[in-house]
Structure 1
Amino acid sequence: MDWPGRFNDCSNNRLEDSEIAAIMRVAAADNALSLAAGEPFGALYPVGPLQESFSKVLSSDLPIWGYSNTRAGVTGLRRWIREWMRRDGLVPEWVASENIFITNGSQEGLSLLSECFLDPGATILVESPSYPEALGVFRKFGAKCLGVSLLPDGPDLEAMETMLAGQRIKLFYTIPTFQNPTGYTTSDEKKRRILDLAKKHDFLIVEDDPYRNLSFEGSPEGTYLHAAGDDKRVIYLGSFSKIIAPGLRCGWVVAPGEVTEKLIKLRVMGTLCLPELLQNAILDFVAGIDLPRHLKTLSDTYRRHRDALSSSLREHACPEGLEITAPGGGFFLWGRVPWIRNMTEFAYFAIRNEKVAIIPGNIFFPESGQGVDTIRLSFSKVIPAMAEEGAKRLGEALRKFRILQQERKPE
């Protein structure tokens, strides 16, 4: 059977393997200590309260067994999200529950928005580096991703203005708060200036904000969505994955009504609807807990993990050339090793030789050949005892890899 000849152009030419997943598979097979997993710490999953919420919904008379009549998501959950975001000052006045669209994780939101807005050949602007699984979605729909350099306070505005002067941009994709992979946060001042550029050059902004509630040092900066006010060119993505549990696969989109109407049509043509059992259980959970206390527990725990890994790395790995920056929230440390010229090669070397897993930073850049000396380290699942051992292994891997590199040099 000639399967390649039967696949369409997208399946043959525009689908990408997840390099992160590939490294994670090798790390698991080698039983490596992981400084790579960008996912929540399992001990923080609120299993007991979630079980109670699911039991309550299962015992109720709610219509959870048939097809959902609310294709945008359970109305009560959408109202709760709107009120939560309003209290936190994240949304402008025009946002109502009708502007909230529940998704199967924010990844589905990215896919639906791409299907809604991107034609093959469209050019979009992304942060460089950025989340590779988002870049893969955009490329699946035929988009060309142009990277604008990301600085600690947000995108390089001069570079962005130069790029906008030369071509038509459909949208700008950004993770503005404790970004994956850098941990950087875009300042409110830069958000305002980028919104001015969006008006001038007439492009949309897709604001992906899953790490907002994991702040270690006070309240994070505001949202593009709120700053835009009545200029409805910002579409916001939120997620419960990082603050409840990723296995729930529940996120949301905030968008103008014209956009949510299209998203509903795309859903009907795809998955029909999402399970109401899940959404009602999440609603019961979030409405019944002390949410600020829950979020503080998460932030306090991840801050301790960050501090432990940062301190251990400075003791054991930085003497071997690692340079790191510690974020104010989220899951990730971003760094570089200036003498390394192929971080992907080093990543597999570290797994095989020292049983420690990292993610090479070059896979986060939209253009090949960039970030070859950069590295992403995740502290989210790394307890202090693991941090010490992981940093020692990483330092030893760097020492041995440097020797290997020196031996390869021609005499």
Structure 2
Amino acid sequence: MSLPSNHSFHLNSQDITRWDLFACVAGRPEGIALTRLAHILHVDRERSLIKPLYDLEEEGLIICDSRDHYILNNKSQVAKNLRQTLSFALASNCDYNFYFSEQMIAFLKKAYRSDHFNNRDVPAELLDPALLCRLVDNALLLIYSYEPFTGRMVENIFLDGLCDYLKIKRAKSFFFRKKMPLEQFLEERTDNFQDPNNPQLQAAMKLFHGKNLAGRNWGLSPLGEEIRDSVEKEDSEMFDPASKACYENSWQKMQEYSREGKKLTVDILREYHHLAMANTNFGGIYRDHEVVIANNPNFKPAPINEIPQRLRQLIDNLAVCEPSTFEESLDMCAYAYNEFVHIHPFQDGNSRTARIILGHMLNLLRMPFEKIPDSFAARFLIVTKGLQKRNDHEVKYVLEEIYLNCMNRKELHQVIS
């Protein structure tokens, strides 16, 4: 749902937050004139926007560089970081305004600091069911247990950028943490999911029952959608609608093939890349030059003369894998994802193609992944191209987090519907 584009719809300036204004200004590299800003936001009295815009100027986030023309303050690292944060929220369908609410800030001050938190760390009054549902839906919270309540905030460009702006810091111990093991926990969660006597499901019902949460929109508001739709046309650095559409087409093809039970082949891998990169002239074509990954000289893609053989070997290895447990299935998927990224067969689009391959494998294994949330894309980059040394276990841990988020969504849908 989006706002009407005709002039019969008008907003009061009080309905627009400073973050809406910042997103509109910062999302345009060339800036925006006040008159056009008011038009985009459907505001009758453009002068009513001057005071909140002035407040953003005073904070050093934007500049009025000529008469009533506003632009991002590119000399401010805070402003540039906040621009990236809100752009990621728009692209991920997160209502950033709610995350600036007093309720959410109070929660984040307790929950964000450490690797995981429980109801001893966060007072019961802050464990608001609507807030928790929003965080789970936005793939920013993993719920390990409903009783006692135990959860973990997901490392994410939006969440990390938001907390950095709000000066909510991680505890020093976070950076030396030992991650909570998830394998056995997730397998038990899967086995007991359909059991009506599942104690965790009963605890979830107790926490969320009767809160009138069914049918609520946890994504962008209609105004947020309007802002996103207007900004993405001008901010090619942060938004790329054509690439997103190509990726969706490739994902749909993957769902078709996996429903038919087709096993992965080199030709299918290349077809997925061809569809995902249909807006380029190299879709499905192996790269013809060596590449170096920016900021990580230790990441060594396959030499170009080894690409065909390495891909065939990957497919052959998968063909003989017959995982018999949940953990073995995730091990195989983590290996395949990381191996494909390290082969790096194409000039660009390898990571997004790897996610499509991952979706294919998960579907064939009948793993209950509905989708791979956009908010996890950056995590995959960190644990593949961002590591000094290859580590399939790190990829597997991200898969476990995605799986838990999927389970949380199913659980909450079951208890609030």
- Same fold judged by TM-score > 0.5? no
Rg larger for: 2
Relative contact order: is structure 1 or structure 2 higher (C-alpha 8 Å, sep ≥ 6)? 1
Query: When the two structures are superposed, what TM-score results if normalisation uses the length of structure 2?
Result: 0.25
Higher helix share: 2
